[in-house]
Structure 1
Amino acid sequence: MTRTDPLTIHATAVAVAGQAAMFIGASGSGKSSLALEMMARGADLVADDRVIVTRESDSLWVSCPDPLRGRIEARGLGILHARSVDRARLAVVVDMDQTEQTRMPPERSIEYLNVKLPLLHNVASQHFPAALIQYLKSEAL
């Protein structure tokens, strides 16, 4: 089994059925808001604000630093308690600083710890949280 030192990334991650999506982007880009939308539809919080990424064999796993576990920031409300999971396999990364411009986007990837992952851009549509949940349940074609 290949292991490397974990990374701590300024990001937010949620999981569905053990598969995680991680949202990267600048402060205020909507990472926590997207996570809250997905959590309202049944996703579990992995981590908000800081995500620990660990490599195990050819997979990446995300988890939360202990002081932040089970907490998410909702702008205008403050810190909320949330149902959370200890860790999940990272399946996709969403760049919240980039807005998808095409109906059928090209395949993109991002690499962490020498593992390539699918990379999506933020979709400015009400269906995006639901579509991401379905993606985590079955991945894209």
Structure 2
Amino acid sequence: MEQVHATTVDVDGDGVMLMGPSASGKSDLGLRLIDSGARLVADDRTDLSLSNGLVRASAPTEIAGRMEVRGIGIVTVPVMSDSPVALVVELVTPGAVERLPEPQTMEVLGVELPLVRLAPFEASAPAKVRAALKNRNPL
């Protein structure tokens, strides 16, 4: 098992791991995805394990089902106990987002996962995550 600094949500059975430094927008984008039907797997820290060739994400026990919402505090949100990671989203500044990027991957526990770089505070960021899931290339 490995623990990473990431917020992970489940979007229709697909785990989306949101990665970036502190205050980069992981919880904010995760909350907006949850508001549109996703379920929280883990906020800020995600435990990763390998099962039958799939990278599975889950929450450390002490934070399961809880999410930090800046300006509100710790809240309880709809939760999944674990989810197979299907997409990694690296949170970057708007200027670092490529207009037409080549497909990229990130190796996680020896598995190549699709990777996209998005600006988390753009209004369209949740829709872009869903579009990336629907249009990801099989690896």
- TM above 0.5, yes or no, is yes
- Segments of structure 2 that go 5 or more residues without pairing to the other structure are none
SS at match of 1:10: strand
Rounded to whole Å, the distance in 2 between the matches of 1:25 and 1:127 is: 18
Rounded to whole Å, the distance in 2 between the matches of 1:139 and 1:61 is: 21
Q: Is the 8 A contact 2:114 2:136 kept in 1?
A: no
TM-score by length of 2: 0.89
Query: Measured at CA, do residues 42 and 29 of structure 1 come closer, stay the same or move farther in structure 2, by a change above 3 Å?
Result: same
Rounded to whole Å, the distance in 1 between the matches of 2:125 and 2:111 is: 25
Q: 1:46 matched to which residue of 2?
A: 41
Percent of matched pairs sharing the same residue: 34
Q: 1:3 matched to which residue of 2?
A: none
Q: 1:125 matched to which residue of 2?
A: 122
- Segments of structure 1 that go 5 or more residues without pairing to the other structure are 1-5
Question: How big is each residue's C-alpha offset from its partner over 1:15-69, in whole Å with a ceiling of 9 and x where there is no partner?
Answer: 0121110011110000000000101111000000110111113210100111111
Q: 2:109 matched to which residue of 1?
A: 113
1:89 partnered with 2:84: yes
1:102 partnered with 2:98: yes
Aligned CA-pair RMSD: 1.6
Tell me the CA shift for residue 125 of structure 1. 3.1
